[in-house]
Structure 1
Amino acid sequence: MVTGKKLVISAVVLALVQIGFLSWMIAGRAAILRNGTEVLLKVEPVDPRDLLRGDYVRLGYEISTLPAKLIADLPPGQTTTAGGRIIVRLKKDADGYWRPVSAFLATPASQPGPDEADIAGTISGGWSIEGDATLSPEYGIERFYLPEGEGRAVETDMRVRPFGVRVALAKDGTPQIKALMDGDKTLFEEPLY
């Protein structure tokens, strides 16, 4: 009988730990959406065979391909990346979209200036960074979930007119998608919870 009580207590403790961990993840995402620096990124169409899987859209951005020459803290003589975290400094352009102006493999030495923000991504190791080479960071915002049945229309529209994504950035650069934009019109907005 004592073994049965221990098993029940262990199961309850494990369930509470799991619930606490999930709540912590949700609260962290909501904090970024509520308090993060908001930027607008221009969406680029992705190969239509990979665009839809169920009810989400796969997104590419102007910041998804970066010239290696943007890396400001590259040690002299280094010709490949070790991989890991990359910080991309964005600056607001005249058209309202934010574009990359520099990138850092370590923590940037200076804070973003006016109309600038940092977004954090990851790159895989081994990329050549010589000459006109480019890097392809991933930011964790490459998918946007849509209401059921909306994907095909959005996929078609993305190919004929400009779309954007409003993104909230935490102080450390962690991004969260806030909304999918069709020009100036908000199509879909992410709820906080």
Structure 2
Amino acid sequence: MMTGKKLIISALVLALVQIGFLSWIIAGRAAILRDGKQVLLRVEPIDPRDLLRGDYIMLSYDISRLPVKLIANIPAGKLTSDDTPIVVRLKQGADGYWGATTARFGQAPAPAVSDEVDIVGHVSEGWDFSAATTIAPDYGIERFYLPEGEGMAIQNDMRVRPFGVRVAIAADGAAQIKALMDGDKTLFEEPLY
């Protein structure tokens, strides 16, 4: 049986481990936002609301629907496996928005050059590449939370004029939303912490 002193020390150690783990998660997200390469993606609206976290907008991008012919290494069985990672190489277009130039399952054969960036997404199981013309990767940047009451208004505005999302992408391809843009105007910016 543990004595009172040992119990208190154990509880403190457990609390420190939990705080350390949460700090590590927050610091990792902040590092991407601070140091990642920034790209601007054109968004398409989907209806908002989360009972626990409030208003949000669901985001879909031009890179959310990739033509299968863009993928350099289609799997041999022509079906994806569980949560297959896909690396999508982006390059900035003349309009300022970034778009996909190539895609590859696994890892990119060569690092992106200075005017390009690789974003890593995941493709759900079961895509049949012999039948599909496009696939839909998930990049982990498909939701953006807003202050209460802002979601529907922005969602409606997105249907009539172009919006974008400034995204920070780390060297390993992990992405975080940095800001929601209405044309050239920043509507909401994510804090580092």
TM-score (norm 2): 0.92
Q: Which amino acid aligns with 2:78?
A: T
The number of residue pairs the alignment matches comes to 189
Deviation per CA, 1:70-115: give whole Å up to 9, x if none. Answer: 111235x431112321111111111000111111111111121342
Counterpart of 1:32 in structure 2 is 32
Instruction: Give the % identical residues.
Output: 63
Counterpart of 1:124 in structure 2 is 124
* C-alpha distance in 1 between matches for 2:133 and 2:127: 8
Q: Which amino acid aligns with 2:111?
A: Q
Counterpart of 2:134 in structure 1 is 134
Question: How well do the aligned residues superpose, as a CA RMSD in angstroms?
Answer: 1.6
Residue 191 of structure 1 aligns to a residue in which SS? Answer: coil
* C-alpha distance in 2 between matches for 1:133 and 1:120: 20
Q: Is the 8 A contact 2:74 2:129 kept in 1?
A: no
Q: 1:132 offset after TM fit, Å?
A: 4.8
Unaligned runs of 5+ in 2: none
Q: Is the 8 A contact 1:52 1:58 kept in 2?
A: no
The reply on whether 1:3 has 2:3 as its aligned counterpart is yes
Counterpart of 2:19 in structure 1 is 19
Counterpart of 1:80 in structure 2 is 79
Unaligned runs of 5+ in 1: none
Counterpart of 1:146 in structure 2 is 146
Residue 16 of structure 2 aligns to a residue in which SS? Answer: helix
* C-alpha distance in 2 between matches for 1:2 and 1:97: 61
Q: Which amino acid aligns with 1:140?
A: G
Within 5 A, what are the aligned runs for 1:48-127? 48=47, 51-53=48-50, 54-75=54-75, 77-82=76-81, 83-127=83-127
Q: Is the 8 A contact 1:69 1:132 kept in 2?
A: no
Residue 45 of structure 1 aligns to a residue in which SS? Answer: strand
* C-alpha distance in 2 between matches for 1:143 and 1:131: 29
Deviation per CA, 1:130-154: give whole Å up to 9, x if none. Answer: 2552211111111111122211211
Q: Is the 8 A contact 1:179 1:188 kept in 2?
A: yes
* C-alpha distance in 2 between matches for 1:125 and 1:33: 30
Deviation per CA, 1:52-87: give whole Å up to 9, x if none. Answer: 332211111111111111111235x43111232111
Q: Is the 8 A contact 1:42 1:164 kept in 2?
A: yes
Residue 160 of structure 1 aligns to a residue in which SS? Answer: coil
* C-alpha distance in 2 between matches for 1:2 and 1:18: 21
Deviation per CA, 1:149-171: give whole Å up to 9, x if none. Answer: 21121111011100000000000
Counterpart of 2:167 in structure 1 is 167
Q: 1:6 offset after TM fit, Å?
A: 2.1
Q: Which amino acid aligns with 1:58?
A: M
